[in-house]
Amino acid sequence: MLKIGDKFPEFSLLAHDCVQFEHLTLENAFKTIDNKTYDGKWLVVFFYPKDFTFICPTEIAGFSDMQERFAEMNAQILGCSIDSEFVHFAWRKYHKPINGLRFPLMSDIKRELCSKLGILNNDGVTDRALFIVDPEGTIRFIMVTDPSVGRNPEEVLRVLSALQTGELCPCSWQPKQETIDLKKVEV
């Protein structure tokens, strides 16, 4: 598995885009996303095992509900699984909690990106993994959980905020709190 400080691998994946269903056509439902699509932004790329499952839609809906807060921090959320873009489309269309999805779901059907990241498990699906990538393409945060445990989008937003300070942030640090000033630390 890649680690903190490594470059996020180059990728080019087809995604189901987050357009409104009333304006949805086959021509606008899908787009290709690559490393340069969101140049200058932080990326929050989360991988989930499969569409049409139980924990995954709770995470997807949770990240979608907070999409504007991530956008305010110059961050783009990208979801990804090994399912095809058509499966993403069908799941979103027929699963009410993710009807209003506000970010793209990428398809890593060939398992290229998840293999490069080292998160393809023995069952042939991705681990429940999340990467925060800075605008220079460097991995700054990695979270991998057991498949039975969903992630907390609020915690991911907190970590993104901490990383963006460029400072030392103590345990349980929250935005607008002071960071650690080494000049004031007594040894």
Q: Which residues pair with 147 in a beta bridge?
A: none
Radius of gyration of the chain (CA): 17
Measured torsion, CA atoms of residues 105, 148, 57, 163, in degrees rounded to the nearest 10? -60
Q: How many CA atoms lie within 13 A of 66 on its CB side?
A: 19
CA 53 to CA 51: how far, in whole Å? 6
Q: Coil, strand or helix: which one is 49?
A: coil
Alpha helices in 56-152 (DSSP H): 56-65, 67-72, 85-94, 112-117
Decide if 18 is catalytic. no
CA 135 to CA 74: how far, in whole Å? 9
Identify the active-site residue in 18, 56, 114, 169.
56
Asked if 92 and 9 count as a contact pair (C-beta separation under 8 A), the reply is no
Provide the annotated active-site residues: 56
